[in-house]
Amino acid sequence: VAELNETHDPQLRSWIESANAPECDFPVQNLPFGVFCSAGTGAPRGGVAIGNCVLDLHALREMGVFTGVAAGAAAAAIGPTLNDLMQQPPSSVSALRAQLSQLLRADGAVSERVRSRVSEFLVPRDSVQMQLPAAIGGYTDFSCSYTHMAGMRNGEPARIFFQFPIGYHGRTSSIRPSGFPVTRPCGQWVRDTPAEVQFGPEPRLDFELEFAAFIGSGNELGESLSVAQAAERLFGYCLLNDWSARGIQMLEMGGLGPFLGKSFVTTISPWVITNEAMAPFRVARPQRREVEPPVPAHLDAPEDEKAGGMSIELSAHLQTPGMRAAGLPPERIVSTNLKSLYWTFAQMLAQQTSNGCNVQPGDLIASGTVSGPEPQGRACLAEINQRGSRPLDLPDGLKRVWLEDGDELTITGRAVRAGYVSIGFGECTGRVTSARGSPGNAPHLRTNPG
Ligand code: MN
Residue 7 Cα to ligand 1 midpoint, Å, equals: 34
pLDDT of 443 higher than 90: no
pLDDT of 450 higher than 60: no
For range 186-195, the mean pLDDT: 90
- Report how far residue 124's alpha carbon sits from residue 319's, in angstroms, rounded to the nearest whole number: 26
- Report how far residue 201's alpha carbon sits from residue 216's, in angstroms, rounded to the nearest whole number: 38
Residue 185 Cα to ligand 1 midpoint, Å, equals: 16
Q: Is 169 a catalytic residue?
A: no
Q: Which of 8, 58, 148, 444 is catalytic?
A: 148
Q: What pLDDT, in 10s, does the model give residues 113-128?
A: 999 999 999 999 999 9
Model pLDDT, residue 442: 42
What distance lies between CA 99 and its chain's CA centroid?
26
Q: State the pTM of this model.
A: 0.96
- Report how far residue 327's alpha carbon sits from residue 331's, in angstroms, rounded to the nearest whole number: 12
Question: Confidence class of residue 1 from pLDDT cuts 50, 70 and 90?
Answer: low
Model pLDDT, residue 445: 46
Residue 439 Cα to ligand 1 midpoint, Å, equals: 29
Model pLDDT, residue 438: 62
| DSSP bridge partners of 142 | 167
Residue 370 Cα to ligand 1 midpoint, Å, equals: 9
Other beta carbons less than 10 A from residue 18's beta carbon? 15
Phi, psi dihedral angles at 323 (to 5 degrees) = -65, -40
pLDDT of 236 higher than 70: yes
Pairing mode of beta strands 244-245, 282-283 = unpaired
Phi, psi dihedral angles at 134 (to 5 degrees) = -145, 160
Model pLDDT, residue 64: 93
pLDDT of 151 higher than 90: no
